[in-house]
């Protein structure tokens, strides 16, 4: 222990060296002594203002090399650690040299926090990071899978399953740019998006996070990466991490790889596939994401042929890093290392070893960060994890931080606060809603099409259903909280009912709203109504909580359809994250519209129902007849869908 005490006396590095010094065996003593000497040398080479890594005019690799050479093991492992916001005090960040912080779903500085409160929080953490010996800025990350979902009054766009139905990569790119600047408005420079999973089974609870079932469709939608990060300029290097400026964010392609192909659609389950099948179905979106300069890639909880993805050296290192020449960093999922063992966290030291050696560079360890730091330190000290692996990880993390300008602009830009939820972005989201809606039926056989609906009714119109006046349900999961929740008090937006009222209001049409009308109400009042709009669907959910083996329309949706559509000409608008069982009701309804999870701008639904715009959306995934057919995707040998992939009826705007 005399060696430890001597090293602890070194100026500015006592904390890190003492922490790094675990109980030392005779076999590891030489390695420990070497590391402690490195600490002393690094202390003497602390970064002054003239340090090369602080000079933005220096070549990128020169800055990385210079900073990496100055870092101790503790500082390097700190850079590999991403901890939860609630644990990330300035002291924790400075004492442990933490490289990254995250907000999990619903993790916010305060309820209904404005952008300024977010920025103040992030800036406080940044001050802790910049106070350290080398002043390496912290990288704050947050989920933004359909807008800045954690932030109050942010614009919430349709979830990806709806965006896939637009078949419009340029629209998706514009959405990416809008989301990026809304996230930057709160001082955050890094997002865990996009999800580029190819969902092959709608029973999966994350299927709405997927752009569709076909790899080429998902591949085309990686244009959102260029929206988030900015377009690589002509002559720029393809495949290297790229962030254009302070209105852009570092993006994260997830979840690598095969997360949408698990058996039974069970979240984090096993994907049974040959390597050829994996390359043909699940890998293509990553090719394009890497070419577009995506900064990070997140590893999936799922397994491939029984092997945990978080421990897969071949796919992470040999294929992603070497074959695809990905130069950004690889990040684990939330507590992802814990799930390498069964039961979870059963042998955490083994999990650290397997995950880091597989090629994971940054680890999401929201709470037990000291256990990770101590464990990885031990594994390096005893020679289990070579310093070359640590240096590769830190080099990749520093490359992203330098590339995105974090060293030059570590703090929030207060001039961006007004970007959150601005009208221009809400208009864009409304456009996305219009283009994402898919018209599945328009009129019964032998009847004229019912859509577009007339704004001027002879009598009244009935609006019914659990989802007609429920902002939370139309936004779905990953909205304010992780799972999302029902009701109209979570954030700002327009419900579908509000949109209908606004659409017909100038015509003087009376709108009667009955959330759950029974058969008696309908019999007594059916003569009053020219037609009805019934809005039903799924409650909000996220991840495993959304896994669903039966995919029926949840109560009271089925009863409302039966009660209303048996007596009144009706439009059924289905609000859901995936296709649901609708064949039993199809004959009774006049019109069926798949609205997916449209987000905060419910006016977009009314825009199309009433003919201000035409229906143009095409199914991003196959609509099955019964769950017994699943999984079923376009191109399968036995393909008997209710509505095939790519189906969608069109209408013309009323003015035509």
Q: What is the pLDDT of residue 47?
A: 73
Separation between Cα atoms, residue 470 and residue 575, nearest integer Å: 11
Contact 261, 282 (CB under 8 A): yes
- Does 654 reside within a domain? no
Query: Do 369 and 508 fall into the same domain?
Result: no
Tokens linked to 169:
């990569």
Per-residue pLDDT, averaged over 82-95, amounts to 97
Contact 289, 253 (CB under 8 A): yes
Query: Do 270 and 392 fall into the same domain?
Result: yes
Q: What is the pLDDT of residue 238?
A: 87
Q: How many domains does the chain have?
A: 2
Query: Do 298 and 158 fall into the same domain?
Result: yes
- Does 380 reside within a domain? yes
- Does 607 reside within a domain? yes
DSSP string spanning 222-254?
THHHHHHH-PPPTTPPTTS----STT--B-EEE
Query: Do 403 and 450 fall into the same domain?
Result: no
On the CB side of 332, CA atoms within 13 Å amount to: 33
Q: How sure is the predictor about 45, in pLDDT bands with cuts at 50, 70 and 90?
A: low
Contact 333, 289 (CB under 8 A): no
For 215, the domain range is 75-416
Separation between Cα atoms, residue 225 and residue 232, nearest integer Å: 11
Residue 246 region by backbone torsions, left for phi larger than 0, else alpha for psi between -120 and 50, else beta: alpha
Per-residue pLDDT, averaged over 284-309, amounts to 98
510 is a catalytic site residue: no
DSSP string spanning 588-605?
T-SEEEEEE---SBTHHH
Burial 32-45 (b: 16+ CB within 10 A, else e): beebbebbbebbee
- Does 50 reside within a domain? no
Query: Do 411 and 517 fall into the same domain?
Result: no
DSSP string spanning 79-99?
HTEEEEGGG--HHHHHHHT--
Query: Do 347 and 448 fall into the same domain?
Result: no
- Does 651 reside within a domain? no
- Does 425 reside within a domain? no
CATH of residue 442 = 3.40.50.1700
CATH of residue 111 = 3.20.20.300
Q: What is the pLDDT of residue 50?
A: 87
Query: Do 551 and 618 fall into the same domain?
Result: yes
Which one of 259, 333, 469, 590 is the catalytic residue? 333
530 is a catalytic site residue: no
Query: What is the tens place of the pLDDT at every residue in 383-426?
Result: 999 999 999 999 999 999 999 999 999 999 999 999 999 999 99
* C-alpha dihedral, 503 to 506 to 508 to 510, nearest 10°: 20
3-state SS, 316-353, equals HHHHHHHHCCCCCEEECCCCHHHHHCCCCCCCHHHHHH
Per-residue pLDDT, averaged over 229-235, amounts to 94
Query: Do 161 and 310 fall into the same domain?
Result: yes
Q: How sure is the predictor about 4, in pLDDT bands with cuts at 50, 70 and 90?
A: very low
Q: What is the pLDDT of residue 239?
A: 87
Query: Do 326 and 453 fall into the same domain?
Result: no
Q: How sure is the predictor about 470, in pLDDT bands with cuts at 50, 70 and 90?
A: very high
Which one of 75, 543, 547, 607 is the catalytic residue? 543
DSSP string spanning 453-471?
PPSS-SSEEEEESTTTT-H
Query: What is the tens place of the pLDDT at every residue in 560-614?
Result: 999 999 899 999 999 999 999 999 999 999 999 999 999 999 999 999 999 999 9
Query: Do 567 and 511 fall into the same domain?
Result: yes
Query: What is the tens place of the pLDDT at every residue in 522-535?
Result: 999 999 999 999 99
Residue 540 phi, psi dihedral angles, 5° rounding? -65, 150
Query: Do 374 and 458 fall into the same domain?
Result: no
Query: Do 453 and 385 fall into the same domain?
Result: no
Pairing relation of β-strands 329-331 and 139-142? unpaired
- Does 547 reside within a domain? yes
CA distances from 643 to 150, 202, 579, 598, 605 (A): 35, 14, 10, 21, 21
- Does 338 reside within a domain? yes
Q: What is the pLDDT of residue 46?
A: 73
As a whole-number percent, the residues of the chain with pLDDT over 90 amount to 91
**pTM of the entire structure?**
0.94
């Amino acid at each position: 222990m005399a060696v430890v005490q001597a090293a602890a006396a070194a100026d500015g590095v006592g904390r890190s060296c003492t922490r790094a010094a675990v109980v030392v065996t005779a076999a590891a003593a030489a390695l420990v002594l070497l590391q402690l000497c490195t600490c002393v040398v690094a202390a003497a080479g602390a970064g002054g203002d003239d340090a090369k890594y602080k000079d933005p005019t220096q070549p990128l690799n020169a800055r990385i090399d210079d900073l990496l050479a100055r870092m101790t093991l503790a500082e390097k492992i700190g850079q590999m650690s991403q901890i939860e916001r609630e644990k990330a005090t300035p002291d924790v960040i400075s004492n442990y040299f933490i490289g990254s912080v995250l907000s999990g779903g619903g993790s916010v500085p305060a309820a209904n926090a404005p952008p300024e409160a977010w920025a103040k929080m992030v800036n406080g953490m940044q001050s802790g990071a910049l106070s350290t010996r080398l002043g390496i800025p912290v990288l704050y990350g947050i989920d933004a899978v359909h807008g800045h979902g954690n932030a109050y009054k942010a614009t919430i766009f349709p979830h990806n399953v709806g965006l896939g139905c637009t078949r419009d990569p340029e629209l998706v790119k514009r959405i990416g740019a809008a989301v990026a600047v809304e996230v930057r408005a709160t001082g955050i420079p890094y997002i865990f998006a996009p999800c580029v999973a190819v969902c092959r089974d709608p029973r999966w609870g994350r299927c709405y996070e997927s752009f569709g079932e076909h790899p080429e469709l998902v591949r085309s939608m990686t244009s959102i990466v260029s929206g988030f990060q900015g377009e690589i300029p002509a002559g720029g290097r393809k495949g290297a991490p790229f962030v254009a400026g302070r209105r852009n964010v570092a993006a994260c392609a997830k979840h690598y790889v095969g997360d949408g192909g698990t058996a039974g659609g069970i979240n984090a389950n096993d994907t049974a596939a040959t390597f050829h099948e994996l390359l043909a179905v699940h890998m293509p979106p990553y090719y394009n994401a890497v070419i577009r300069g995506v900064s990070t890639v997140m590893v999936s909880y799922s397994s491939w042929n029984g092997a945990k993805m978080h421990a897969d050296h071949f796919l992470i290192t040999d294929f992603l890093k070497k074959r695809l020449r990905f130069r950004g960093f690889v990040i684990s999922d939330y507590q992802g290392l814990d799930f390498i063992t069964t039961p979870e966290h059963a042998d955490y030291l083994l999990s650290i070893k397997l995950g880091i050696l597989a090629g994971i560079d940054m680890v999401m360890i929201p709470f037990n960060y000291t256990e990770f730091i101590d464990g990885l330190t031990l594994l390096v000290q005893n020679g289990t994890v070579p310093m070359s692996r640590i240096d590769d990880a830190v080099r990749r993390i520093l490359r992203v931080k330098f590339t995105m300008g974090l060293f030059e602009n570590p703090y929030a830009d207060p001039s961006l606060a007004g970007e959150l939820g601005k009208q221009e972005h809400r208009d864009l989201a409304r456009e996305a809603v219009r283009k994402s809606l898919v018209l599945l039926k328009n009129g019964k056989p032998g009847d004229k099409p019912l859509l577009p609906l007339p704004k001027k009714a002879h009598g009244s119109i009935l609006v019914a259903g659990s989802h007609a006046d429920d902002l939370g349900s139309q936004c779905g999961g990953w909205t304010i909280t992780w799972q999302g929740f029902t009701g109209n008090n979570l954030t700002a937006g327009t419900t579908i009912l509000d949109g209908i009222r606004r659409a017909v209001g100038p015509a003087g049409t009376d709108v009667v709203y009955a959330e759950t009308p029974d058969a008696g109400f309908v019999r007594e009042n059916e003569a009053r109504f020219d037609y009805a709009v019934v809005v039903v669907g799924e409650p909000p959910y996220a991840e495993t909580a959304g896994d669903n083996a039966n995919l029926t329309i949840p109560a009271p949706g089925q009863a409302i359809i039966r009660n209303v559509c048996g007596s009144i000409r009706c439009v059924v608008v289905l609000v859901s994250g995936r296709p649901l069982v609708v064949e039993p009701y199809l004959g009774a309804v006049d019109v069926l519209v798949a609205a997916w999870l449209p987000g905060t701008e419910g006016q977009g639904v009314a825009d199309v129902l009433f003919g201000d715009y035409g229906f143009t959306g095409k199914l991003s995934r196959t609509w099955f007849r019964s769950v017994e057919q699943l999984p079923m995707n376009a191109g399968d040998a036995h393909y008997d869908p209710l509505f095939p992939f790519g189906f969608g009826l069109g209408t013309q705007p009323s003015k035509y």
